[in-house]
Structure 1
Protein backbone atom coordinates (compact mmCIF):
# COMPACT_ATOMS: atom_id res chain seq x y z
CA UNK A 1 0.00 0.00 0.00
CA UNK A 2 1.32 3.36 -0.97
CA UNK A 3 2.06 6.07 1.58
CA UNK A 4 -0.44 8.36 -0.11
CA UNK A 5 -3.15 5.77 0.40
CA UNK A 6 -2.29 5.43 4.08
CA UNK A 7 -2.40 9.20 4.52
CA UNK A 8 -5.76 9.35 2.76
CA UNK A 9 -7.17 6.64 5.03
CA UNK A 10 -5.90 8.45 8.13
CA UNK A 11 -7.38 11.75 6.95
CA UNK A 12 -10.73 10.13 6.19
CA UNK A 13 -10.67 8.48 9.65
CA UNK A 14 -10.02 11.80 11.38
CA UNK A 15 -12.78 13.46 9.35
CA UNK A 16 -15.19 10.65 10.31
CA UNK A 17 -14.23 10.92 13.97
CA UNK A 18 -14.65 14.70 13.97
CA UNK A 19 -17.97 14.40 12.20
CA UNK A 20 -19.65 12.43 14.96
CA UNK A 21 -20.53 13.67 18.45
CA UNK A 22 -22.79 12.54 21.25
CA UNK A 23 -25.04 14.50 23.63
CA UNK A 24 -25.72 12.83 27.00
CA UNK A 25 -29.04 12.94 28.86
CA UNK A 26 -27.43 15.20 31.48
CA UNK A 27 -26.11 17.68 28.90
CA UNK A 28 -27.29 20.50 26.68
CA UNK A 29 -25.50 21.51 23.47
CA UNK A 30 -25.48 24.06 20.66
CA UNK A 31 -24.25 23.55 17.11
CA UNK A 32 -22.18 26.43 15.73
CA UNK A 33 -21.47 27.11 12.09
CA UNK A 34 -18.63 29.57 11.51
CA UNK A 35 -19.12 30.74 15.09
CA UNK A 36 -22.85 31.40 14.76
CA UNK A 37 -25.56 29.26 16.37
CA UNK A 38 -26.98 26.87 13.83
CA UNK A 39 -29.02 24.62 16.16
CA UNK A 40 -29.71 25.27 19.85
CA UNK A 41 -32.17 22.44 20.30
CA UNK A 42 -29.95 19.39 20.08
CA UNK A 43 -31.57 16.33 21.63
CA UNK A 44 -29.65 13.62 23.54
CA UNK A 45 -28.15 11.02 21.23
CA UNK A 46 -25.65 10.62 18.36
CA UNK A 47 -25.28 13.50 15.86
CA UNK A 48 -23.17 14.47 12.86
CA UNK A 49 -21.46 17.74 11.96
CA UNK A 50 -19.30 19.12 9.21
CA UNK A 51 -15.69 19.22 10.38
CA UNK A 52 -13.99 22.62 10.48
CA UNK A 53 -17.20 24.35 9.37
CA UNK A 54 -19.32 23.30 12.33
CA UNK A 55 -18.49 23.12 16.02
CA UNK A 56 -20.39 21.75 19.05
CA UNK A 57 -20.46 23.31 22.51
CA UNK A 58 -21.68 20.95 25.26
CA UNK A 59 -22.74 22.10 28.75
CA UNK A 60 -23.72 20.39 31.99
CA UNK A 61 -27.53 20.46 32.28
CA UNK A 62 -27.71 19.14 35.85
CA UNK A 63 -28.51 21.30 38.89
CA UNK A 64 -25.33 23.13 39.85
CA UNK A 65 -24.41 24.89 43.09
CA UNK A 66 -23.12 28.43 43.42
CA UNK A 67 -21.53 28.52 46.87
CA UNK A 68 -21.05 32.25 47.22
CA UNK A 69 -18.49 33.75 49.57
CA UNK A 70 -19.96 35.48 52.67
CA UNK A 71 -21.13 39.07 52.11
CA UNK A 72 -22.15 41.86 54.50
CA UNK A 73 -25.67 43.28 54.38
CA UNK A 74 -27.51 45.86 56.46
CA UNK A 75 -30.99 45.43 57.93
CA UNK A 76 -33.59 48.19 58.09
CA UNK A 77 -32.24 48.93 61.58
CA UNK A 78 -28.76 49.54 60.07
CA UNK A 79 -27.46 46.35 61.69
CA UNK A 80 -24.64 44.80 59.66
CA UNK A 81 -24.73 41.02 59.19
CA UNK A 82 -22.29 38.61 57.57
CA UNK A 83 -24.38 36.26 55.41
CA UNK A 84 -23.19 32.96 53.91
CA UNK A 85 -25.54 31.72 51.18
CA UNK A 86 -25.75 29.41 48.17
CA UNK A 87 -27.81 29.18 44.96
CA UNK A 88 -28.99 26.06 43.14
CA UNK A 89 -29.31 26.62 39.36
CA UNK A 90 -29.33 24.92 35.98
CA UNK A 91 -29.34 25.86 32.29
CA UNK A 92 -32.84 26.54 31.00
CA UNK A 93 -32.38 28.20 27.59
CA UNK A 94 -29.07 27.02 26.12
CA UNK A 95 -29.09 29.60 23.30
CA UNK A 96 -29.53 32.54 25.68
CA UNK A 97 -26.99 30.98 28.05
CA UNK A 98 -24.37 30.70 25.33
CA UNK A 99 -24.95 34.22 24.02
CA UNK A 100 -24.80 35.72 27.52
CA UNK A 101 -21.81 33.82 28.88
CA UNK A 102 -20.00 32.44 25.85
CA UNK A 103 -20.60 29.02 27.34
CA UNK A 104 -18.18 29.72 30.20
CA UNK A 105 -19.62 28.36 33.44
CA UNK A 106 -17.55 30.65 35.66
CA UNK A 107 -18.91 33.69 33.83
CA UNK A 108 -22.43 32.48 34.54
CA UNK A 109 -21.51 31.90 38.20
CA UNK A 110 -20.09 35.43 38.58
CA UNK A 111 -23.11 37.13 37.02
CA UNK A 112 -25.52 34.98 39.02
CA UNK A 113 -23.67 35.75 42.24
CA UNK A 114 -23.87 39.48 41.54
CA UNK A 115 -27.64 39.21 41.00
CA UNK A 116 -28.06 37.09 44.15
CA UNK A 117 -26.05 39.57 46.23
CA UNK A 118 -28.19 42.47 44.99
CA UNK A 119 -31.37 40.55 45.81
CA UNK A 120 -30.18 39.63 49.31
CA UNK A 121 -29.07 43.22 49.95
CA UNK A 122 -32.47 44.58 48.93
CA UNK A 123 -34.47 42.04 50.93
CA UNK A 124 -32.34 42.37 54.07
CA UNK A 125 -32.66 46.15 53.83
CA UNK A 126 -36.45 45.86 54.10
CA UNK A 127 -36.47 43.74 57.26
CA UNK A 128 -35.46 43.83 60.91
CA UNK A 129 -32.83 41.64 62.51
CA UNK A 130 -35.45 39.31 64.01
CA UNK A 131 -37.27 38.93 60.69
CA UNK A 132 -34.19 37.93 58.68
CA UNK A 133 -32.88 35.59 61.38
CA UNK A 134 -36.07 33.72 62.23
CA UNK A 135 -39.34 35.58 61.72
CA UNK A 136 -39.55 35.81 57.91
CA UNK A 137 -36.47 33.86 56.82
CA UNK A 138 -38.30 31.19 54.83
CA UNK A 139 -40.58 33.78 53.23
CA UNK A 140 -37.54 35.88 52.31
CA UNK A 141 -35.83 32.92 50.62
CA UNK A 142 -38.93 32.00 48.62
CA UNK A 143 -39.45 35.57 47.46
CA UNK A 144 -35.79 35.96 46.50
CA UNK A 145 -35.85 32.69 44.55
CA UNK A 146 -38.83 33.86 42.49
CA UNK A 147 -37.41 37.34 41.81
CA UNK A 148 -33.93 36.07 40.97
CA UNK A 149 -35.35 33.37 38.71
CA UNK A 150 -37.39 35.90 36.72
CA UNK A 151 -34.34 38.11 36.20
CA UNK A 152 -31.76 35.50 35.15
CA UNK A 153 -34.03 33.44 32.92
CA UNK A 154 -34.30 36.30 30.45
CA UNK A 155 -30.73 37.60 30.80
CA UNK A 156 -28.70 34.43 31.32
CA UNK A 157 -30.96 31.62 30.16
CA UNK A 158 -30.68 29.79 33.49
CA UNK A 159 -33.26 28.69 36.06
CA UNK A 160 -32.77 29.34 39.78
CA UNK A 161 -34.00 26.27 41.64
CA UNK A 162 -33.40 27.50 45.18
CA UNK A 163 -31.69 30.19 47.25
CA UNK A 164 -30.69 29.42 50.83
CA UNK A 165 -28.83 31.14 53.64
CA UNK A 166 -26.43 28.77 55.41
CA UNK A 167 -25.34 31.08 58.21
CA UNK A 168 -25.90 34.60 59.53
CA UNK A 169 -23.27 36.07 61.84
CA UNK A 170 -22.67 39.42 63.45
CA UNK A 171 -19.40 41.16 62.57
CA UNK A 172 -16.62 40.42 65.05
CA UNK A 173 -16.52 43.96 66.41
CA UNK A 174 -20.22 44.00 67.36
CA UNK A 175 -20.91 40.35 68.18
CA UNK A 176 -19.86 40.74 71.84
CA UNK A 177 -22.22 43.64 72.71
CA UNK A 178 -25.04 42.06 70.71
CA UNK A 179 -24.70 38.73 72.50
CA UNK A 180 -24.55 40.55 75.85
CA UNK A 181 -27.75 42.39 75.03
CA UNK A 182 -29.40 39.17 73.91
CA UNK A 183 -28.29 37.49 77.14
CA UNK A 184 -29.74 40.38 79.17
CA UNK A 185 -33.04 40.13 77.31
CA UNK A 186 -33.20 36.38 77.89
CA UNK A 187 -32.41 36.80 81.58
CA UNK A 188 -35.19 39.39 81.84
CA UNK A 189 -37.62 36.97 80.21
CA UNK A 190 -36.44 34.20 82.54
CA UNK A 191 -37.03 36.39 85.61
CA UNK A 192 -40.49 37.23 84.34
CA UNK A 193 -41.31 33.57 83.77
CA UNK A 194 -40.00 32.66 87.25
CA UNK A 195 -42.08 35.45 88.82
CA UNK A 196 -45.20 34.29 87.02
CA UNK A 197 -44.42 30.71 88.02
CA UNK A 198 -44.01 31.67 91.69
CA UNK A 199 -47.27 33.60 91.59
CA UNK A 200 -49.05 30.62 90.09
CA UNK A 201 -47.42 28.34 92.69
CA UNK A 202 -48.73 30.56 95.53
CA UNK A 203 -52.24 30.37 94.05
CA UNK A 204 -52.03 26.60 93.75
CA UNK A 205 -50.77 26.20 97.34
CA UNK A 206 -53.48 28.51 98.69
CA UNK A 207 -56.15 26.56 96.82
CA UNK A 208 -54.68 23.28 98.06
CA UNK A 209 -54.66 24.55 101.68
CA UNK A 210 -58.26 25.69 101.34
CA UNK A 211 -59.30 22.34 99.95
CA UNK A 212 -57.40 20.64 102.78
CA UNK A 213 -59.30 22.64 105.42
CA UNK A 214 -62.64 21.92 103.73
CA UNK A 215 -61.86 18.21 103.41
CA UNK A 216 -60.74 17.94 107.05
CA UNK A 217 -63.84 19.84 108.25
CA UNK A 218 -66.15 17.61 106.23
CA UNK A 219 -64.30 14.51 107.47
CA UNK A 220 -64.55 15.69 111.10
CA UNK A 221 -68.26 16.41 110.65
CA UNK A 222 -68.85 12.98 109.16
CA UNK A 223 -66.77 11.35 111.92
CA UNK A 224 -68.73 13.13 114.67
CA UNK A 225 -71.97 12.19 113.00
CA UNK A 226 -70.89 8.54 112.77
CA UNK A 227 -69.65 8.61 116.36
CA UNK A 228 -72.97 10.09 117.52
CA UNK A 229 -74.90 7.47 115.58
CA UNK A 230 -72.70 4.77 117.11
CA UNK A 231 -73.18 6.12 120.61
CA UNK A 232 -76.91 6.28 120.06
CA UNK A 233 -76.98 2.68 118.83
CA UNK A 234 -74.80 1.56 121.73
CA UNK A 235 -77.09 3.31 124.24
CA UNK A 236 -80.06 1.67 122.59
CA UNK A 237 -78.41 -1.73 122.84
CA UNK A 238 -77.55 -1.13 126.49
CA UNK A 239 -81.12 -0.04 127.17
CA UNK A 240 -82.54 -3.10 125.46
CA UNK A 241 -80.17 -5.35 127.38
CA UNK A 242 -81.03 -3.66 130.68
CA UNK A 243 -84.74 -4.00 130.08
CA UNK A 244 -84.43 -7.69 129.30
CA UNK A 245 -82.43 -8.58 132.47
CA UNK A 246 -81.66 -5.61 134.79
CA UNK A 247 -79.95 -7.83 137.35
CA UNK A 248 -77.52 -9.36 134.84
CA UNK A 249 -76.80 -5.96 133.36
CA UNK A 250 -76.00 -4.58 136.83
CA UNK A 251 -73.68 -7.56 137.45
CA UNK A 252 -71.75 -6.87 134.20
CA UNK A 253 -71.42 -3.21 135.07
CA UNK A 254 -70.04 -4.10 138.49
CA UNK A 255 -67.49 -6.52 136.98
CA UNK A 256 -66.36 -3.79 134.60
CA UNK A 257 -66.03 -1.38 137.53
CA UNK A 258 -63.94 -3.93 139.47
CA UNK A 259 -61.71 -4.49 136.46
CA UNK A 260 -61.05 -0.80 135.98
CA UNK A 261 -60.61 -0.12 139.71
CA UNK A 262 -58.02 -2.85 140.29
CA UNK A 263 -56.17 -2.46 136.98
CA UNK A 264 -53.30 -0.55 138.59
CA UNK A 265 -51.77 -2.21 141.64
CA UNK A 266 -50.46 1.10 142.93
CA UNK A 267 -53.94 2.63 143.28
CA UNK A 268 -55.49 2.91 146.76
CA UNK A 269 -59.22 3.09 147.46
CA UNK A 270 -61.03 4.06 150.65
CA UNK A 271 -64.50 2.52 150.50
CA UNK A 272 -67.06 1.78 153.22
CA UNK A 273 -67.32 -2.02 153.61
CA UNK A 274 -71.07 -1.71 153.52
CA UNK A 275 -70.89 0.26 150.27
CA UNK A 276 -72.90 -0.78 147.21
CA UNK A 277 -69.54 -1.22 145.48
CA UNK A 278 -68.94 -4.54 147.28
CA UNK A 279 -72.37 -5.84 146.57
CA UNK A 280 -71.31 -8.71 144.27
CA UNK A 281 -68.10 -9.37 146.15
CA UNK A 282 -70.03 -10.35 149.27
CA UNK A 283 -72.77 -12.21 147.46
CA UNK A 284 -72.72 -13.50 143.86
CA UNK A 285 -76.43 -12.78 143.67
CA UNK A 286 -75.88 -9.22 144.89
CA UNK A 287 -78.20 -9.53 147.88
Structure 2
Protein backbone atom coordinates (compact mmCIF):
# COMPACT_ATOMS: atom_id res chain seq x y z
CA UNK A 1 0.00 0.00 0.00
CA UNK A 2 1.32 3.47 -0.93
CA UNK A 3 2.26 5.67 2.00
CA UNK A 4 -0.14 8.57 2.47
CA UNK A 5 1.45 12.00 2.09
CA UNK A 6 1.29 14.10 5.25
CA UNK A 7 0.16 17.71 5.40
CA UNK A 8 -2.82 20.01 5.03
CA UNK A 9 -5.16 20.29 2.06
CA UNK A 10 -4.31 23.85 1.11
CA UNK A 11 -4.86 25.19 -2.40
CA UNK A 12 -3.68 28.32 -4.18
CA UNK A 13 -0.70 30.26 -5.51
CA UNK A 14 2.08 31.92 -3.54
CA UNK A 15 4.31 34.38 -5.37
CA UNK A 16 7.67 34.35 -3.61
CA UNK A 17 10.15 37.15 -4.24
CA UNK A 18 13.07 34.73 -4.21
CA UNK A 19 16.28 35.93 -2.57
CA UNK A 20 19.70 35.17 -4.06
CA UNK A 21 21.55 32.14 -2.78
CA UNK A 22 18.78 29.53 -2.73
CA UNK A 23 17.71 27.01 -5.33
CA UNK A 24 14.11 27.06 -6.51
CA UNK A 25 13.62 23.59 -5.04
CA UNK A 26 14.84 24.80 -1.62
CA UNK A 27 12.31 27.65 -1.70
CA UNK A 28 9.48 25.26 -2.63
CA UNK A 29 10.45 22.99 0.26
CA UNK A 30 10.45 25.93 2.70
CA UNK A 31 7.01 27.02 1.50
CA UNK A 32 5.59 23.53 1.73
CA UNK A 33 6.96 23.22 5.27
CA UNK A 34 5.68 26.66 6.32
CA UNK A 35 2.14 25.94 5.07
CA UNK A 36 2.27 22.28 6.13
CA UNK A 37 0.96 21.58 2.63
CA UNK A 38 0.55 18.12 1.15
CA UNK A 39 1.63 19.18 -2.31
CA UNK A 40 3.67 22.04 -3.78
CA UNK A 41 5.48 22.83 -7.01
CA UNK A 42 6.90 25.82 -8.88
CA UNK A 43 6.26 27.21 -12.36
CA UNK A 44 9.70 27.93 -13.77
CA UNK A 45 13.15 27.52 -12.20
CA UNK A 46 15.33 30.46 -11.19
CA UNK A 47 19.09 30.02 -10.84
CA UNK A 48 20.32 30.19 -7.21
CA UNK A 49 21.93 33.61 -7.79
CA UNK A 50 18.76 35.03 -9.39
CA UNK A 51 16.02 36.91 -7.54
CA UNK A 52 12.40 37.75 -8.21
CA UNK A 53 9.18 35.96 -9.05
CA UNK A 54 9.05 32.28 -8.17
CA UNK A 55 5.41 31.25 -8.51
CA UNK A 56 4.62 28.31 -6.22
CA UNK A 57 1.44 26.28 -6.52
CA UNK A 58 -0.05 24.48 -3.53
CA UNK A 59 -2.50 21.58 -3.60
CA UNK A 60 -4.90 21.53 -6.55
CA UNK A 61 -3.25 24.66 -7.96
CA UNK A 62 -0.39 22.40 -9.07
CA UNK A 63 -2.73 21.29 -11.88
CA UNK A 64 -2.52 24.82 -13.31
CA UNK A 65 1.30 25.01 -13.30
CA UNK A 66 1.63 24.38 -17.07
CA UNK A 67 -0.36 27.53 -17.83
CA UNK A 68 2.17 29.68 -15.92
CA UNK A 69 5.18 27.73 -17.20
CA UNK A 70 4.02 28.37 -20.78
CA UNK A 71 3.29 32.08 -20.20
CA UNK A 72 5.60 34.97 -21.09
CA UNK A 73 8.09 36.09 -18.45
CA UNK A 74 10.06 39.32 -17.95
CA UNK A 75 13.68 39.49 -16.78
CA UNK A 76 15.84 42.49 -15.82
CA UNK A 77 19.56 41.71 -15.82
CA UNK A 78 23.04 43.19 -15.96
CA UNK A 79 25.60 41.96 -18.47
CA UNK A 80 29.28 42.28 -17.58
CA UNK A 81 31.08 42.98 -20.84
CA UNK A 82 34.67 41.98 -21.50
CA UNK A 83 34.64 38.66 -19.66
CA UNK A 84 33.34 35.17 -20.36
CA UNK A 85 32.89 32.68 -17.50
CA UNK A 86 32.48 28.92 -17.57
CA UNK A 87 28.98 29.26 -16.03
CA UNK A 88 27.96 32.36 -18.06
CA UNK A 89 27.32 34.23 -14.80
CA UNK A 90 29.29 35.91 -12.02
CA UNK A 91 29.48 32.66 -10.01
CA UNK A 92 31.86 31.06 -12.48
CA UNK A 93 35.53 31.20 -13.39
CA UNK A 94 36.68 33.77 -15.95
CA UNK A 95 37.80 31.83 -19.03
CA UNK A 96 38.29 34.64 -21.57
CA UNK A 97 38.70 38.42 -21.60
CA UNK A 98 38.68 41.12 -24.27
CA UNK A 99 39.57 44.84 -24.15
CA UNK A 100 36.96 45.97 -26.70
CA UNK A 101 33.84 47.74 -25.38
CA UNK A 102 31.03 48.40 -27.87
CA UNK A 103 29.12 51.68 -28.08
CA UNK A 104 25.49 51.88 -27.02
CA UNK A 105 24.21 52.02 -30.59
CA UNK A 106 26.16 48.86 -31.46
CA UNK A 107 24.62 47.08 -28.48
CA UNK A 108 21.10 48.23 -29.40
CA UNK A 109 21.61 47.05 -32.98
CA UNK A 110 22.86 43.65 -31.83
CA UNK A 111 19.86 43.12 -29.55
CA UNK A 112 17.54 43.04 -32.55
CA UNK A 113 19.15 39.76 -33.59
CA UNK A 114 18.00 38.14 -30.35
CA UNK A 115 14.27 38.86 -30.76
CA UNK A 116 11.52 36.82 -32.37
CA UNK A 117 11.91 33.08 -32.83
CA UNK A 118 15.56 32.26 -32.19
CA UNK A 119 17.67 29.18 -31.50
CA UNK A 120 19.61 29.12 -28.24
CA UNK A 121 22.25 26.74 -26.89
CA UNK A 122 21.77 26.34 -23.11
CA UNK A 123 24.72 27.04 -20.79
CA UNK A 124 27.01 24.08 -20.09
CA UNK A 125 26.19 24.58 -16.40
CA UNK A 126 22.46 23.94 -16.76
CA UNK A 127 19.95 21.27 -15.78
CA UNK A 128 19.57 20.00 -19.34
CA UNK A 129 19.98 16.21 -19.47
CA UNK A 130 22.53 14.49 -21.70
CA UNK A 131 22.19 10.70 -21.80
CA UNK A 132 20.38 10.84 -18.47
CA UNK A 133 22.87 13.12 -16.70
CA UNK A 134 22.57 16.82 -15.93
CA UNK A 135 24.86 19.01 -17.98
CA UNK A 136 26.06 20.86 -14.87
CA UNK A 137 27.12 17.57 -13.26
CA UNK A 138 29.18 16.68 -16.33
CA UNK A 139 30.70 20.17 -16.44
CA UNK A 140 31.64 20.03 -12.76
CA UNK A 141 33.41 16.72 -13.40
CA UNK A 142 35.54 18.40 -16.02
CA UNK A 143 33.67 17.15 -19.07
CA UNK A 144 32.66 19.41 -21.96
CA UNK A 145 28.94 18.69 -22.49
CA UNK A 146 27.76 19.38 -26.05
CA UNK A 147 24.26 20.84 -25.95
CA UNK A 148 21.94 21.21 -28.91
CA UNK A 149 20.29 24.52 -29.77
CA UNK A 150 16.67 24.90 -28.68
CA UNK A 151 13.94 27.21 -29.95
CA UNK A 152 13.04 30.27 -27.88
CA UNK A 153 10.55 33.06 -28.51
CA UNK A 154 11.80 36.48 -27.40
CA UNK A 155 9.08 39.13 -27.55
CA UNK A 156 11.42 41.99 -26.68
CA UNK A 157 15.01 42.66 -25.56
CA UNK A 158 15.75 46.27 -24.65
CA UNK A 159 18.70 48.32 -23.46
CA UNK A 160 17.68 49.92 -20.15
CA UNK A 161 20.89 51.52 -18.90
CA UNK A 162 24.67 51.68 -19.40
CA UNK A 163 26.08 52.53 -15.97
CA UNK A 164 29.68 52.26 -17.21
CA UNK A 165 31.71 50.86 -20.09
CA UNK A 166 31.82 47.37 -18.59
CA UNK A 167 28.13 46.97 -17.80
CA UNK A 168 24.83 47.09 -19.66
CA UNK A 169 21.38 46.60 -18.12
CA UNK A 170 18.80 44.82 -20.25
CA UNK A 171 15.16 43.77 -20.01
CA UNK A 172 13.82 40.72 -21.82
CA UNK A 173 10.32 39.33 -22.28
CA UNK A 174 10.40 35.74 -23.51
CA UNK A 175 8.60 32.43 -23.59
CA UNK A 176 9.42 29.26 -21.69
CA UNK A 177 12.76 27.52 -21.79
CA UNK A 178 14.95 30.59 -22.15
CA UNK A 179 18.34 31.03 -20.49
CA UNK A 180 19.26 34.62 -19.72
CA UNK A 181 22.84 33.50 -19.20
CA UNK A 182 22.93 32.26 -22.78
CA UNK A 183 21.65 35.63 -24.01
CA UNK A 184 24.48 37.41 -22.18
CA UNK A 185 27.05 34.93 -23.48
CA UNK A 186 25.86 35.11 -27.10
CA UNK A 187 25.46 38.89 -27.04
CA UNK A 188 29.07 39.22 -25.88
CA UNK A 189 30.24 36.97 -28.70
CA UNK A 190 28.21 38.91 -31.26
CA UNK A 191 29.73 42.17 -30.03
CA UNK A 192 33.23 40.67 -30.03
CA UNK A 193 33.87 41.38 -26.36
CA UNK A 194 32.54 38.36 -24.40
CA UNK A 195 29.93 38.74 -21.66
CA UNK A 196 28.24 37.11 -18.70
CA UNK A 197 25.32 37.83 -16.35
CA UNK A 198 26.31 39.94 -13.34
CA UNK A 199 22.86 39.80 -11.74
CA UNK A 200 19.37 38.67 -12.76
CA UNK A 201 15.85 39.40 -11.54
CA UNK A 202 12.54 38.01 -12.80
CA UNK A 203 10.10 40.93 -12.75
CA UNK A 204 6.97 39.03 -13.68
CA UNK A 205 5.84 35.60 -14.78
CA UNK A 206 2.49 35.37 -16.56
CA UNK A 207 -0.03 37.18 -14.32
CA UNK A 208 2.28 37.30 -11.28
CA UNK A 209 4.40 40.39 -10.53
CA UNK A 210 7.21 40.75 -8.00
CA UNK A 211 6.19 44.23 -6.89
CA UNK A 212 2.45 43.64 -6.60
CA UNK A 213 2.24 39.97 -5.59
CA UNK A 214 5.68 39.06 -4.25
CA UNK A 215 6.08 37.84 -0.67
CA UNK A 216 9.45 37.66 1.05
CA UNK A 217 10.80 34.39 2.37
CA UNK A 218 11.31 36.10 5.74
CA UNK A 219 7.57 36.82 6.02
CA UNK A 220 6.77 33.22 5.13
CA UNK A 221 9.21 31.82 7.68
CA UNK A 222 7.92 34.22 10.36
CA UNK A 223 4.36 32.94 9.97
CA UNK A 224 5.27 29.30 9.44
CA UNK A 225 2.81 26.65 10.65
CA UNK A 226 0.18 29.31 11.42
CA UNK A 227 -3.04 28.83 9.35
CA UNK A 228 -3.24 32.63 9.19
CA UNK A 229 -0.42 32.38 6.65
CA UNK A 230 -3.07 31.35 4.14
CA UNK A 231 -3.92 35.04 3.75
CA UNK A 232 -0.86 35.34 1.50
CA UNK A 233 -2.26 32.87 -1.03
CA UNK A 234 -3.77 33.86 -4.34
CA UNK A 235 -6.69 31.69 -5.51
CA UNK A 236 -6.16 28.69 -7.76
CA UNK A 237 -7.81 30.50 -10.67
CA UNK A 238 -5.09 33.19 -10.56
CA UNK A 239 -3.09 30.71 -12.62
CA UNK A 240 -5.80 30.54 -15.28
CA UNK A 241 -6.09 34.20 -16.30
CA UNK A 242 -4.85 33.48 -19.84
CA UNK A 243 -7.78 31.11 -20.41
CA UNK A 244 -11.38 32.16 -21.14
CA UNK A 245 -13.93 31.28 -18.47
CA UNK A 246 -17.17 29.36 -18.72
CA UNK A 247 -19.88 29.20 -16.08
CA UNK A 248 -21.47 25.81 -15.54
CA UNK A 249 -24.69 24.66 -13.92
CA UNK A 250 -24.78 22.63 -10.72
CA UNK A 251 -25.47 19.52 -12.76
CA UNK A 252 -22.62 20.44 -15.13
CA UNK A 253 -20.24 20.97 -12.20
CA UNK A 254 -21.14 17.56 -10.77
CA UNK A 255 -20.52 15.88 -14.12
CA UNK A 256 -17.22 17.68 -14.60
CA UNK A 257 -16.10 16.65 -11.12
CA UNK A 258 -16.54 13.04 -12.21
CA UNK A 259 -14.54 13.59 -15.39
CA UNK A 260 -17.53 13.87 -17.72
CA UNK A 261 -18.56 16.73 -20.06
CA UNK A 262 -20.60 19.37 -18.23
CA UNK A 263 -23.29 21.80 -19.34
CA UNK A 264 -22.18 25.42 -19.83
CA UNK A 265 -24.53 28.28 -18.97
CA UNK A 266 -22.39 31.13 -20.32
CA UNK A 267 -19.03 31.21 -22.08
CA UNK A 268 -16.19 33.56 -22.95
CA UNK A 269 -14.67 30.74 -25.05
CA UNK A 270 -15.10 30.02 -28.73
CA UNK A 271 -15.87 26.54 -30.05
CA UNK A 272 -12.83 24.29 -29.62
CA UNK A 273 -10.99 26.64 -27.21
CA UNK A 274 -9.45 25.56 -23.94
CA UNK A 275 -11.27 27.17 -21.01
CA UNK A 276 -11.78 26.87 -17.29
CA UNK A 277 -15.14 26.26 -15.63
CA UNK A 278 -16.59 28.06 -12.63
CA UNK A 279 -19.64 27.23 -10.53
CA UNK A 280 -20.78 29.59 -7.78
CA UNK A 281 -17.40 31.30 -7.68
CA UNK A 282 -15.34 28.11 -7.48
CA UNK A 283 -13.10 26.63 -10.19
CA UNK A 284 -14.27 23.19 -11.25
CA UNK A 285 -12.20 22.07 -14.23
CA UNK A 286 -10.18 22.94 -17.31
CA UNK A 287 -11.19 21.53 -20.66
CA UNK A 288 -12.26 22.11 -24.25
CA UNK A 289 -15.49 24.01 -24.95
CA UNK A 290 -17.68 22.43 -27.63
CA UNK A 291 -21.34 23.00 -28.46
CA UNK A 292 -22.47 24.14 -25.03
CA UNK A 293 -20.40 21.60 -23.10
CA UNK A 294 -16.98 21.63 -21.46
CA UNK A 295 -14.98 18.43 -21.99
CA UNK A 296 -12.58 18.23 -19.01
CA UNK A 297 -8.85 17.57 -19.15
CA UNK A 298 -8.10 18.64 -15.55
CA UNK A 299 -10.56 18.45 -12.65
CA UNK A 300 -10.15 20.35 -9.37
CA UNK A 301 -11.04 18.72 -6.05
CA UNK A 302 -11.17 21.59 -3.56
CA UNK A 303 -13.33 19.86 -0.96
CA UNK A 304 -16.03 21.74 0.90
Structure of higher CA gyration radius: 1
Q: Which has the higher contact order (CA 8 A, sep 6+)?
A: 2
Q: TM-score range by the shorter chain?
A: under 0.3
Q: Which has the higher helix share?
A: 1
TM (normalized to structure 1)? 0.21
